[in-house]
Structure 1
Amino acid sequence: MLPFVLLHGLIGPLADARTISLLRPATVVCPDLLGYGTEADADPAGITIEAQIEYVRAITDRTVPDTRVHVVGHSVGGIIAMVFAHRFPHRVASVINVEGNFTLADAFWSAQLARMSPAEVSDLLEADRADPARWLRDGGVEPTEEHLRSAAEALAYQPATTVRAMAQAVVEFTGAAGYEPLLRDVFEHTPVHLVAGERSRPGWSVPAWALTAAASYTEISQSGHMVMLEAPEAFGNKLRKLVDNRNIHQDPRSPA
């Protein structure tokens, strides 16, 4: 089975052990994007979508060289997954886009954060860290003991400077005139599977053309936008099933 590359969103990782265990024996690469986790000390001024793409390319080339991969992107990670597939089509077997941002309408939360001062973003993140149960409830997630542990990890995963820098990068990139043509090109040349949480689907501004062009569309029942936190086993099972049932699509631009 080809490797998976899991790209997390604006808040928290995409590396739950319960999800990863269901993808084995495939190699699963879960990079901490610039500004996150082990890369939390990255200069916020250098955190852009372009920089994240190059960072993912370097990690992919180092950890799973000379093979195609399934790229899974959640939310903001969905942008990175799609752009990675556009820049390096010969490396991508499929994209699994989990409520990734398609338009500025999708990026409404990033747009709000991008307009805030550094102090305002810091205060917001600290308030969420102080009350993870409220943060979960705001996302429609029941604050069970297990969910609270995952929420604490997610909220501690990145500093406020990263959140603000990524939010600004998202708004700049998705608001550019060339973003939709880029997305359409990926759909044309690469199988793109769309995945949504059942509860959060109404808020996902996925264009009709993308639904038509997608290799598949799936909703994960009884879950919302934070599906990786709320339903890691169902998420892992869905990723595995999408790969097992995929139709291999040979990119005409890829080497034979």
Structure 2
Amino acid sequence: MAVLNERLDLRVDGVDLSVAAVRRTGDGDPVVFLHGFGSTKEDYADLDVHPAFAGQPFLAYDATGCGESGCADLSKISIPFLVRTAQAVLAREGIGRFHLVGHSMGGLTALLLAHQEPDRVLSFVDIEGNVAPEDCFLSRQIITYPSDDLESFLADFTERVRSSPQFAAALYAASVRQKVRPGAVRGIFESMVDDIVELSLVSRDGGHEPLVEEFLRHAAGSRAAQVGGEFVPPVEGDPPLEDRLSCHGQREPEEGP
């Protein structure tokens, strides 16, 4: 089947969305991909030419505030909002049961989606997903480098990533400002940190809480798997995230170096 590039007009929480998607239809249950921060649906478009996935139906789309997807109110975007957007996309595409793959930001979104739709998720692959405080090495910068100017924050964030002495850091930095709208960054980043703490993904003492336990149970039954480690490391000079989480509710500003 041919790959279709689609534009889905949706309304989520009273906000008008225009979601850009790439999809291949066909027999069988599709693989649904949720991309990470600074990525887009094009990360998965090569499935169309990969021999191992010949004929496999799949769906990937740009998260609201990212890539070619439009959002009438960027300030409404958060991880729970992205979960509800995923549910709206699945409903519009008429997808019942599916295999789920989430990367980074999309990994956290996918974990919450799988928790809410357990009977529909046939398998779950979490690629570098944000499921523990140490995973927030990018999103925590909204706290450790606070700024009221979102354009400036994204520009400075990009330069911090670019100067990171790790493979692919400069490549990631080269396109992130073209793939993410500044107005979406605060809601995404703050929500990524908040959800890990406040939605009980991990406890204060480092023990596992319900969603992580559920993920681990699925992994033991070969329904789920976690892949990969950090893509871009913490910026030198950042304090440990746990120090920030201990007073996260107060949102105390902290100056970067």
- Shorter-chain TM range is 0.5 to 0.7
Aligned to 1:167: 189
Gaps of 5+ in 2: 1-27, 202-208, 235-257
Matches within 5 A, 1:119-198: 119=149, 121-126=150-155, 135=162, 138-141=165-168, 152-176=174-198, 178-179=200-201, 180-189=209-218, 191-196=223-228
Count of aligned pairs: 193
Over 3 Å counting, the alpha-carbon distance change for 1:64 and 1:21 in structure 2 is farther
Three-state SS of the structure 2 residue aligned to 1:12 is coil
Question: What is the TM-score when the length of structure 1 is the normalising length?
Answer: 0.64
Confirm or deny: 8 A CA contact 1:114 1:171 kept in the other structure: no
Gaps of 5+ in 1: 204-256
Aligned to 1:39: 69
Question: Amino acid of the residue matched to residue 133 of structure 2?
Answer: L
| 2:57 pairs with 1:18 | no
Aligned to 1:30: 60
Over 3 Å counting, the alpha-carbon distance change for 1:63 and 1:202 in structure 2 is same
Confirm or deny: 8 A CA contact 2:147 2:153 kept in the other structure: no
Over 3 Å counting, the alpha-carbon distance change for 1:26 and 1:118 in structure 2 is farther
TM superposition outliers: structure 1 runs of 4+ over 6 Å: none
Question: Which residue of the other structure, out of 103, 118, 126, is the alignment partner of 2:132?
Answer: 103
Confirm or deny: 8 A CA contact 1:6 1:15 kept in the other structure: no
C-alpha deviation, 1:45, in angstroms: 2.7
Aligned to 1:242: none
Distance 1:155 1:62 in 2: 29
Question: Amino acid of the residue matched to residue 193 of structure 1?
Answer: A
| 2:81 pairs with 1:51 | yes
Matches within 5 A, 1:219-234: none
Aligned to 1:91: 120
C-alpha deviation, 1:49, in angstroms: 1.7
Computing the radius of gyration from Cα coordinates, the structure with the larger value is 2
Confirm or deny: 8 A CA contact 2:140 2:193 kept in the other structure: yes
Deviations 1:41-95 (A, max 9, x none): 34233112221111101111222423x2111111111101111111001111111
Distance 1:194 1:90 in 2: 20
Question: Taking every aligned residue pair, what percent have the same amino acid on both sides?
Answer: 27
Structure number with the higher strand fraction is 2
Confirm or deny: 8 A CA contact 2:74 2:184 kept in the other structure: yes
C-alpha deviation, 1:126, in angstroms: 3.2
Using CA pairs below 8 Å that are at least 6 residues apart, which structure has the higher relative contact order? Answer: 1
Deviations 1:8-30 (A, max 9, x none): 11212142333453234222211
